[in-house]
Amino acid sequence: MDKLDLVRVRQLEIAVRIWHPEASSTLIAWHGLARHGGDFEGLARQLGPEWRILAPDTPGRGLSSWSLFPAHDYLYSHYMQIAIALLDHYELDHVPWLGTSMGGLLGMLIAADDTHGDRIEQLILNDVGPEIDPQGLAGLASYFAIPHRFYTFGELLTELRDHYASFGITDDATWQAMALESARRLPDGSWTFHYDPRIAEQFVNDTPRDTWADWAAIRCPLTVIRGVDSTILAADTVHQMKLQQPGLATLDVPGCGHAPMLNTPSQVQPISDFLNRPADTISPATTKTKVQGSLWQRLLHWVRSLWPR
């Protein structure tokens, strides 16, 4: 990154990683569940100096504060408040938003919001949508609910490479840089990951909602990126998303699962093309899918039933 801002939002300090701080155009880039804003280094460098990238660390991740009240703060509703406060801080009335996994869902909820929806000028979802594969969701919940501890940094690096193999990273330098920014040393000298282990309690405490209705309510240009081998976003879900939003642009990324790292020319160029096209408001969707109702509620209830007691 080129600059680090520390923004106070009520009792929490939010770290915002910035690339090209003097650029005339701005993109919000929001990371996934247990990652941080540093994941967008490759994207920022390849998009080039005309784009200022603002990549916040969600509370409980990276350099941002850990919450003393996880049941209150590690929720999408609170992340929305954080996001709007950051948009206000940087005086961004309308801005493109790119979100990986959790960051994509957060952007989708803001774009669908009656009060704040028009602040999202364009929305890019990286391997996420209004319907999440239940087995993939259960896998995320179970993995991040367990504290991970490693006796050596090498063990942490090996685990990182194994767990995030689906990111499609192919070079050792990127893996090592990712490990350096993802490690936290414990008082006994062992190692763990950077995030608060309690972030996964979101799966228990968050309020269920109809995310297909949210998807249908969005009125800005849309792109969805999907790893061909994704365990989270099914190809059929992308098809249903396009039925509700006919203007949706799609990109399938071979050799990746959940979620593409967005650090190669073949992934970044379509993003650049989308961002640089006129951001006209799309017309309301005329076709509704039959995947309405309480899918998100059912998924959350199912994950809660699997949660370790």
- DSSP readout, 56-115? EPPTTSTTSPPPS-HHHHSSHHHHHHHHHHHHHHTT-SSEEEEEETHHHHHHHHHHT-TT
Mean pLDDT of the chain: 90
Beta bridge partners of 53: 19, 27
Q: Please, are residues 43 and 69 in contact by the beta-carbon 8 Å criterion? A: no
Delineate the domains of the chain, giving CATH numbers in brackets: 3-306 (3.40.50.1820)
**20 pLDDT more than 70:** yes
Tell me the whole-structure pTM to 2 decimals: 0.89
Beta bridge partners of 28: 54, 97
Q: Please, are residues 203 and 306 in contact by the beta-carbon 8 Å criterion? A: no
- Condensed to tens digits (0 to 9), the pLDDT of residues 21-67 reads 999 999 999 999 999 999 999 999 999 999 999 999 999 999 999 99
Beta strands in the chain (DSSP E): 3-9, 12-19, 25-30, 51-56, 95-100, 120-126, 183-185, 191-193, 222-227, 249-253
Element (H, E) at 239: helix 235-244
Q: What is the pLDDT of residue 282?
A: 44
